[in-house]
C-alpha cells in the first residue's frame, strides 16, 4: 500500500495540470478575442504615446 500513497500526489498534480492546460486552451480565441485584442492594442498605443511625450518634453 505504500506505493499507492506514493503515487497519489503526482497523479493528482498531473490531473490538475492537465485541467489547467485545457482551460487555458479553451479560453483562447472565441467571441471576445477581437475585443481583447483591441483593448491590448489601445493600451500599447497609450504607452507608446506617453513614452514619446516624456522623451519630447525632456529635451
**Residue 49 pLDDT > 80, yes or no?**
yes
pTM across the whole model: 0.48
**Residue 8 pLDDT > 90, yes or no?**
yes
What is the domain count for the chain?
Answer: 1
Q: What is the pLDDT of residues 17-46, one digit of tens each?
A: 999 999 988 888 777 778 888 899 999 999
Range of the domain at 13: 2-58
Query: How far, in whole angstroms, is CA 8 from its chain's centroid?
Result: 29
Start-end of H helices in the chain: 2-27, 33-58
Confidence of residue 10 (pLDDT cuts 50, 70, 90): very high
Amino acid at each position: 500500500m505504500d506505493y499507492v500513497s506514493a503515487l497519489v500526489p503526482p497523479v493528482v498534480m498531473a490531473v490538475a495540470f492537465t485541467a489547467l492546460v485545457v482551460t487555458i486552451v479553451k479560453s483562447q480565441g472565441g467571441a471576445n478575442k477581437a475585443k481583447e485584442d483591441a483593448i491590448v492594442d489601445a493600451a500599447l498605443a497609450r504607452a507608446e504615446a506617453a513614452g514619446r511625450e516624456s522623451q519630447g518634453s525632456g529635451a
